[in-house]
Amino acid sequence: MIILSDADVEKLLDMGEAIDAVEDAFREYAEGNVVMPARSTIMVPRYNGSISFMPSYLTGLDAQATKIISIYPDNKEKGLPTTVAWIVVNDPETGLIEAFMDATYLTAVRTGAVTGVAARYLAPEDARVAAVFGAGVQGRTQAWAACMVRDIERVYIYDLVEEARERFAEEMTGKLGVEVVPAESGEEACRDADIVLTATTSPKPVIRRGWLKDRVHVSAIGAFYPDWRELDTATVAGSKLVIDDYEGIMLEAGDVLIPIAEGAMTEDHIYAELKELVSGRKVGRTAEDGVTVFKSVGIAIQDSSVANLVLNKLRG
């Protein structure tokens, strides 16, 4: 059995390759070449956390994996990561465990990768400025992915913690080779942004429609409970809305469920699942589109496809 640490995975995993792998997985999903039971989550209210189990099998790629992921927002106060994950890879032919890998870094990259896939289809072609909300690991991979699919020249970073903003700006300027600027407010971060990326653990909106340009793409990946959301109702209800997966969204995505509950929109407001854009069954951004929103709660095929990519690179 192969055992890989986060450091091992980081050496093998490139964002550009991860974006392509995740796009391929959604294409397989569109073609019906996926077995993916619903995510099973155990809530741990005593410690304000959750532990989820995410199995999937990409039959066309013969890639099977199960991710176990814990999300504990209060870990930040303990100096621990809020999101920690592991992946178990089985050999589809025999069922034997083929690999066990730390998936904390992999989860951050695959989450950035799905944002990158969505931006390929929904972000303005001439996007040059991005705004990131949340200066954690997920925020870093969101910025990385945006720079892979558009010619980004400047990134604004906003976080409630000033020190985190400054650290993010210093680190990511070097990594991305673009200007990264700490913003003093969410409104300042959004003012010039063509792409807005939210990766926070906030249960309340961090984005207001009035802050956004008329022509902008928004990707929200941070809120993962039915009563949490990062985007206000006006942003979602006034957008061309694309989601990663209908079943997961209707169970977990407060960004979509709350505006529906408020009567601001219906389920029919959802324009497409991402697989429909990837497969060409529906078009992405058009010249008439103003605000596009991609909402993701994360699905298991992202993990199995990227884990498969890691193992294939390891084997050479």
Residue 280's pLDDT is 97
CA 161, CA 61: separation in Å to the nearest integer? Answer: 42
203 backbone dihedrals φ, ψ, rounded to 5°: -85, -10
pLDDT of residue 76: 85
Q: Check the CA dihedral 299-71-203-108 and report its sign.
A: negative
HSE-up (13 A, CA, CB side) for residue 13: 35
What pLDDT is attached to residue 240? 98
Token pair for 214: 């008329």
What is the SS3 assignment for 242?
strand
CATH of domain 2-106+301-315: 3.30.1780.10
Per-residue pLDDT of the chain (316 residues; tens, 9 = 90+): 999 999 999 999 999 999 999 999 999 999 999 999 988 999 999 999 999 999 999 999 899 999 999 989 899 899 988 888 999 999 999 999 999 999 989 999 999 999 999 999 999 999 999 999 999 999 999 999 999 999 999 999 999 999 999 999 999 999 999 999 999 999 999 999 999 999 998 999 999 999 999 999 999 999 888 999 999 999 999 999 999 999 999 998 999 999 999 999 999 999 999 999 999 999 999 999 999 999 999 999 999 999 999 999 998 8
pLDDT of residue 39: 85
User: Whole-angstrom Cα distance, residue 105 to residue 28?
Assistant: 24
Q: Of 11, 67, 76, 295, which one is the catalytic site residue?
A: 67
The domain segmentation of the chain, as residue ranges, is 2-106+301-315, 114-299
User: Whole-angstrom Cα distance, residue 162 to residue 182?
Assistant: 8
Give dist(CA 138, CA 191) in Å, integer: 22
- pLDDT given at position 279: 97
Does domain 114-299 sit in CATH 3.40.50.720?
yes
Catalytic-residue membership of 295 = no
Longest distance between any two alpha carbons in the chain, whole Å? 55
